[in-house]
Structure 1
């Protein structure tokens, strides 16, 4: 059941009317449901119960400290892509021993930071990265645990900007090169190959490509075992999508069904080839945990009718929510207060000085100037991708727990934005 619903004509987050949040904290504001967040994580945790498995939340989706803390308290690990994200995990009370470090461009400083915190594993994406990590670990007198992010050349059938598993993508080691790269890693004195990883893309609504990628990883693990390179974990990445509410949109595979099919295939393989010996399985969900837990609350500034289009100009903009401008993403838009008037067709746009500053196109809305709108399913890739373009402060963030509202990030003001700048003397 969604934690965002209309009650007596007013959109609520759990037991809290959204207009109360706007009155207290202003707009634009990101509003998250604690109950939805915990329920989404529990879907993964329950599917992994009784198994040697770890759910590493992909924190690039939403890295608010309060959200990280709630997930850490549920036993989550974390998938990070920068040293800054590692420091966020530590600040939020997360366990660095449950951290997977992904990303194609890790710096020496980031490697040192991760080694100092004794993270679980580095997902390495190139031979030059192997050599850099070996040198950094050697200089520190340490051994770095590594897995290779293998690019299985599987079409995820998603938007090209969020597809990551094809030969044309920058991510990972090509499948045909993986065996030789593992040999190189095993030969380096300060690296310990312990796992294998893949991530073929985001917003996946069909698990067939993921299962195809799994078969290729199994093939590679078997080939490595024949050479004496024994891996201890299998990381299937993330990418499970959510439903954004667009007409005709496919429903994502339920989390329990997807994980169940992954485990069934792994169990059959281990029974046939390894006498049933288990292998640790890691998942890296992001959007599937936070995507539908949040909305972007915004206020209508003006209604601007035109000869070809009507514009609903709101106080949120592309700097607050980049997905529509960047991916042409469809986001559901709902009035906070329902009006008993005929709707009109509007493009919902922001005040940023760009023609690409739009949040939704051709939506039937019964609204007036001053009304509140909620951009739904905005919990993932919202504030984490936001910017200060046009010297606009980033939005506030709140978490709703029943009828209690907690401010977990204050709104930025202009003085915050130029505090680090200075004039020439």
Structure 2
């Protein structure tokens, strides 16, 4: 960890930078794979599964038999945990249901919005070093609430051609329609373009490494919508002299173990506390199974000493973290000052792990400073708001002249004429 004491605001831009790969080379690699998937469909997917996941597949489809087998391989304790998490995610996202209201804007003019689900959505679930079965619940549950007709899931198989059983059980609990064995860029391409086996979707959701994120951004230019631009995971913890240093160290490490391109930031108002947290991080790190991954993440990470919590929240807003943990005495007042963050955890008992798994909020969040302009996945992510309007004769009388005047002044005569004809028709019938 790099310790930075009392940085001046002019240096904050460098503080909030994230680690990243050479995207030029990355984007070229991704484009070649996507072009191959677009041209050759299933054949290309099979080839890349062999190349990247080291598996010769007979079929891309996860069969009903495989799902039944998975249910026997998952412990009752894990299944019960998945059910509890699903129920909380369900409750929280059901509270976001949209209720449109018809508004009379002028006499004879009615306007309203209708929320319509996206018919076909694709969910990408990473396998890799940590199969994210929790993300299945986070993505599929709101899709089901929204009423999406087809919920397609792609996830990489292991070298024996099997999908992690917890992913399959979570998919069944959350209501996924179809599951396919495909990972990485090839999965994104398959859902974006459609293949002989994998259907084309209208919007793709889900986290992934920088290659997956690059693939999502590339296909979003012409083929399909995506949930958000994002990158490797990250956390910012704000701590004061009264924080629980064991908890804070654990929170930093829980993020650091995600991957070597993740990042953790500590912003602390007390120097002794900062160094105590650093010691706890070192001692807890030694006990982690994913110690090597977490250590590399910590090499990209920063411990920043600031004067007070007001300066801390200002720096956090500049950083715009995916996850923000406020472990201070004044967390309630600081919460009111949060402007840029994906998800916020308040007080010493609200660890990021709660939101990652079972509190009910969604853990698919904007990273890499995209929280400046994007929010995390929610129920609205699976819907489109379509506007409607109805004009009666009174409506034409109310706004007709204004429409004609504005259209004429924008030199759009056809627009003006469309309303002018209606005005003439109404006047002639009187």
**Fold shared, TM-score > 0.5 on shorter chain:** no
TM-score (norm 1): 0.29
TM-score (norm 2): 0.29
If each structure's strand is expressed as a fraction of its own residues, which one has the higher value? 1
Asked which structure has the greater CA Rg, the reply is 2
If each structure's helix is expressed as a fraction of its own residues, which one has the higher value? 2
